[in-house]
Amino acid sequence: MPAPERPALERPAPSAVELDRRAFRRRQGGRSIAVSIGSTIVFAVLIGVGLVNSPGWADVQRSFFDLETAVEAFPSVIEGLWLNIQVLFFAAIGVAVLGSLLAIARTLRGPIFTPLRFAAAIYTDLFRGIPLLLVLYLVGFGLPGLDLFGRVPAQVWGTIALILTYSAYVSEVLRAGIEAVHPSQRLASRSLGLGYAKTLRLVVLPQAVRRVTPALMNDFVSMQKDVGLISVLGAVDAIRAAQIEVAASYNFTPYVLAGILFIALSWPMIRLTDWYTARAQRREQIGGSV
């Protein structure tokens, strides 16, 4: 029972035993930091020395890590990356919507929904099976060939292809999350008078998404890279821009540059989700040192 009028308590001075334990832990901590720094340095030096001393290093350095070429290619590659970011933005929204709908369709119960369940199952089987590159070709060159649509830029077709493929993956991840939520949660929610849809939206999905956030992030980062594949449709994205620069300069550095930019693009998102999941875990679960 809390007793608010109780005066704040002072921590007593630690005993000799406790001071000794703390000193030991500090030494252990110091030692493990020293070991980790030491081993990292040794590792980095070994790789660096091995690389620089390899016979072809001078050639590789010239054609892959040339600062001048990188600076020259930077404006066009970064402009291409902006297109990637736009495509990624719309594709992520599309995947979130279509993926959730598919996942829900697959978890619906009741005989009326059989065709829907069935259609969703076929869809996910199909689009997880086809290589993304094929989907890109079929959507990017096949659909415009129908002459039903006016002039649509290649990146729009690319976005659609990405949505089609990634929704299939994401829906399966979400479905696993939905099914991992304990049935007692549904019971508790329904007993409050919340209907099927509200139970799904307010109780089941939030828990499901939290459980599969790492897997979803995996798919997101994977899509972030696959956005570069829209270059096969002729859209001038970062990869395509780099390719053009490579062709002009006979130097592969623009590719390396594009690679670094893609990493820079995904890194904040990865850190953000790590931080978010750690926080949610701290908030909802009691700790313990094991």
Partner 1 sequence: MSEQQAAPVLRIDGVHKWFGDTPVLRGIDIEVAQHEVVVLIGASGSGKSTLLKTINLLEPVDDGRIFLGETDITDPRVDADRIRGRIGVVFQHYNLFPHMHVLDNVTLASRKVFGVKRAVAEQRGRELLERIGLADKARDYPDRLSGGQQQRVAIARAIATDPEVLLLDEITSALDPQLVGEVLDLVRELKAGGSTMLMATHEMSFARRVADRVIFLKDGRIVESGTPQQIFDAPREPETREFLARLQDPLA
Return residues touching partner 1 (CB under 8 A): 1-3, 6, 8-9, 11-12, 14-15, 17-18, 21, 24-25, 28, 288-290
CB of 221 to partner 1, least distance (A): 30
Q: Which is nearer to partner 1, 2 or 110 (CB)?
A: 2
CB of 21 to partner 1, least distance (A): 6
Reference 100, options 17, 3, 206; nearest CA is: 206
Reference 140, options 129, 154, 150, 151; nearest CA is: 154
Q: Which is nearer to partner 1, 4 or 268 (CB)?
A: 4
What is the four-CA torsion angle of 31, 32, 34, 38, rounded to 10 degrees?
140
CB of 12 to partner 1, least distance (A): 7
Q: Which is nearer to partner 1, 26 or 271 (CB)?
A: 26
**Lookup result for tokens 């736009």:** 86
State the Cα–Cα distance between residues 246 and 272, nearest whole angstrom.
34
Which string of DSSP letters, residue by residue, matches 19-69? HHHHHHHHHHHHHHHHHHHHHHHHHHHHHHHHHHTSTTHHHHHHHHS-HHH
Q: Which is nearer to partner 1, 55 or 288 (CB)?
A: 288
Q: Which is nearer to partner 1, 17 or 67 (CB)?
A: 17
State the Cα–Cα distance between residues 203 and 249, nearest whole angstrom.
56
CB of 108 to partner 1, least distance (A): 25
CB of 20 to partner 1, least distance (A): 9
State the Cα–Cα distance between residues 164 and 123, nearest whole angstrom.
9
Q: Which is nearer to partner 1, 133 or 188 (CB)?
A: 188
State the Cα–Cα distance between residues 169 and 166, nearest whole angstrom.
5
Q: Which is nearer to partner 1, 111 or 288 (CB)?
A: 288
Cβ–Cβ < 8 Å for 110, 182: no
Which string of DSSP letters, residue by residue, matches 59-91? HHHHHHS-HHHHHHHHHHHHHHHHHHHHHHHHH
CB of 277 to partner 1, least distance (A): 23
CB of 10 to partner 1, least distance (A): 10
